[in-house]
Chains A and B, each alone.
Chain A
Amino acid sequence: MSRQLETLTVEAVFARWPFVQQQLADNGLGEIADRPGARLAEFLDTDQLDDLDGFIDVMEDFLGANEEKVSEVTITGGRAKDGSPEPVAELTVKVGEVICIVGPTGSGKSRLLADIEWVARGDTPTGRHVTINGQVPDDKWRFSAEYKLVAQLSQNMNFVMDLSVEEFLNLHAESRLATDPEQKIQRIWNWANELAGEPFALDTPVTSLSGGQSRALMIADTAVLSSSPVVLIDEIENAGIDRQQALDILIREEKIVLMATHDPILALMGDRRVIINNGAMQKVIEPSEKEKANLIELRALDEKLMGLRHRLRMGERLDEI
């Protein structure tokens, strides 16, 4: 045991690690607090002390988590499927950037994202290396519960808990030990309502939200409460939400956004586009002026389609479009 808790008094432990009191109470050991002068070892056996020591590790990790912010992630190229060197030798993505990843099925898009998630050290099939803020990262990014480099959003995801929106957000905030949870929950709720276009109340059960509302809540929640600096978006093409605004929210909350998509609007919304083939990053390109101009046209088309969808929903005919 690293902290020698068995030698300390209850009072000393509470003073140093205030969260221990709640933890003991949660485990039905609240009465320990009534005898501040006694040594902790009078109440807890070696296993329990060991567990408490581990709990303090977790909490100290947690509380320190805000100190070292991830501001950039660098991928150093490895080798393609045929063993040749990866054409893109280095790619650095920064907080606030949106990067699109395109390439045919089987080309290695998922592997690239997995390399980032696993913080590869030349120990994956691609031989890539990933560094965080220019440094070889700690093992915690691979194995701990609260440091996950990548959060994921996809169309297949559903809420499965039987809770209201507010209870749900509270639970998430609690598990993240968020500071100022009420304010964060309000912010998530406001954003989700803006994104979805069809408002919902805080006491709505999460399982009865519409597809668009669920997606909106997931995005706003991930933006504000997720611990992961990188957000991976997979297939949210037809999510029924304002996609530009969704990206804006993630950027404002200082996320690095990676999107695997073949949707032209989403692809052109990215700051850069990584082209994958043969298991390797072939090229990184920025949208051209022409593409940017086309985006305006594509948006108009998209809005038109959305309007048609809305009219269908309202029972109208589409004789005039």
Chain B
Amino acid sequence: MRFVTVSGPPSSGKTAVILKTLEHLQKAGQKVGVVKFDCLFTDDDELYRKNGIAVRKGLAGALCPDHYFVSNVEECVQWGLQEGLDVLVSESAGLCNRCSPHIREVLAICVIDNLSGTGTPKKIGPMLKAADVVVITKGDIVSQAEREVFASRVHMVNTKARILHVNGITGQGSFELSTLWTGAEETATVEGKKLRFSMPAALCSYCLGETRIGSDYQMGNVRKMDLDLPTGFKTDGGPQELGPMDTGGES
């Protein structure tokens, strides 16, 4: 089975691109499936199902969606094998700019759109930087100049990636993308494989459920901005020692 991880900011066109690309593989008689990851809600699974694609979804709830992804990815691969898929695609939520779902030796795609602004390639970090293929969407509604500027910004962040323009609505460019998917390596398991980019640990008290604001409630990996405030405010940064978890009540 070929396994492809697709990442990208919200609404960048991941689902549109996956649907158009898989259509070519379906026409060629391949069995295809998608696992969609998101935080609280998605109806992408309905879209996939309607298009004859085997689908599973995972909602991360309070966890970082990419942490949730990596905790479940081997099971997803096993599900894909059990379904007899030729190609399995994971679509991530793309909400955490610090994390990236890409795995070594597994084809990594990042979908990013021309409307997101020229600063976005720099902002979204690992999911773009660690991708093998960057798909740029929504080129149909911006000028040629903006497409060129945007592509060059993408290239500056990830100098090694192949860059493809795909229109998620008409499917222009999706056939070309599909040839890269069918050319991907076979994956029988991701057990023991490594993430391309380590994910930061959820280590501050807010990660652990704290809701109150103020230094007294901040423990663990906390960093302060340098705002030149008068003494009396704690402004020095740096990780502090991880204190005991507050399990409710006054401390």
Q: Which residues of A contact B (CB under 8 A)?
A: 51, 54-55, 57-58, 110, 114, 118, 123-125, 142-146, 148, 151-154, 156-161, 168-169, 171-172, 175-176, 214, 218, 221-222, 225-227
Interface residues of B in 145-173 (CB under 8 A from A): 145-146, 148-149, 151-156, 159-160, 162-165, 170, 172-173
B159 and A156 within 8 A (CB): no
Determine how close the nearest CB of chain A comes to the CB of B171; give it in whole angstroms.
Answer: 10
B142 and A158 within 8 A (CB): yes
Q: How far is the CA of A214 from the CA of B141 in the complex (A)?
A: 13
Categorize the interface residue count of chain B: 20 to 34
A143/B143 contact (C-beta < 8 A), A58-B155, A175-B152 known: no
Residues of A within 8 A of B153 (CB): 175
Residues of A within 8 A of B142 (CB): 157-160
Determine how close the nearest CB of chain B comes to the CB of A8; give it in whole angstroms.
Answer: 19
B140 and A146 within 8 A (CB): no
B143 and A146 within 8 A (CB): no
A218 and B155 within 8 A (CB): no
Residues of B within 8 A of A123 (CB): 179
A218 and B152 within 8 A (CB): no
B148 and A175 within 8 A (CB): yes
Jot down 18 A-B pairs with beta carbons below 8 A, ordered by A: A57-B159, A110-B172, A114-B175, A114-B176, A118-B176, A124-B175, A143-B163, A144-B162, A148-B148, A152-B139, A154-B140, A157-B140, A157-B143, A158-B141, A168-B145, A172-B145, A218-B144, A226-B145
Residue of A57, A110, A222 near B145 (CB, 8 A) is A222
Q: Is B103 an interface residue (CB 8 A)?
A: no
A218/B143 contact (C-beta < 8 A), A143-B163, A175-B152 known: yes
Determine how close the nearest CB of chain A comes to the CB of B186; give it in whole angstroms.
Answer: 21
Determine how close the nearest CB of chain B comes to the CB of A250; give it in whole angstroms.
Answer: 12
A146 and B146 within 8 A (CB): no
Q: How far is the CA of A124 from the CA of B24 in the complex (A)?
A: 11
A145 and B154 within 8 A (CB): yes
Q: Which residues of B contact A (CB under 8 A)?
A: 114-115, 118, 139-146, 148-149, 151-156, 159-160, 162-165, 170, 172-173, 175-176, 179
Nearest A residue to B174 by beta-carbon distance?
A: A114
Nearest A residue to B24 by beta-carbon distance?
A: A125
A54/B159 contact (C-beta < 8 A), A172-B148, A227-B148 known: yes
A144 and B143 within 8 A (CB): no
Q: How far is the CA of A13 from the CA of B36 in the complex (A)?
A: 46
Determine how close the nearest CB of chain B comes to the CB of A159; give it in whole angstroms.
Answer: 5
A222 and B162 within 8 A (CB): no
Interface centre among B142, B148, B155, B160 (most CB of A within 10 A): B148
A158/B143 contact (C-beta < 8 A), A144-B163, A145-B154, A145-B155 known: yes
Q: How far is the CA of A145 from the CA of B148 in the complex (A)?
A: 7
Residues of B within 8 A of A148 (CB): 148, 151, 165
A221/B144 contact (C-beta < 8 A), A55-B156, A145-B155, A146-B155 known: yes
Residues of B within 8 A of A158 (CB): 141-143
B144 and A151 within 8 A (CB): yes
Q: How far is the CA of A153 from the CA of B145 in the complex (A)?
A: 10
B152 and A145 within 8 A (CB): yes
Nearest B residue to A219 by beta-carbon distance?
A: B144
Q: How far is the CA of A187 from the CA of B114 in the complex (A)?
A: 26
Q: How far is the CA of A225 from the CA of B147 in the complex (A)?
A: 12
Q: How far is the CA of A29 from the CA of B149 in the complex (A)?
A: 24
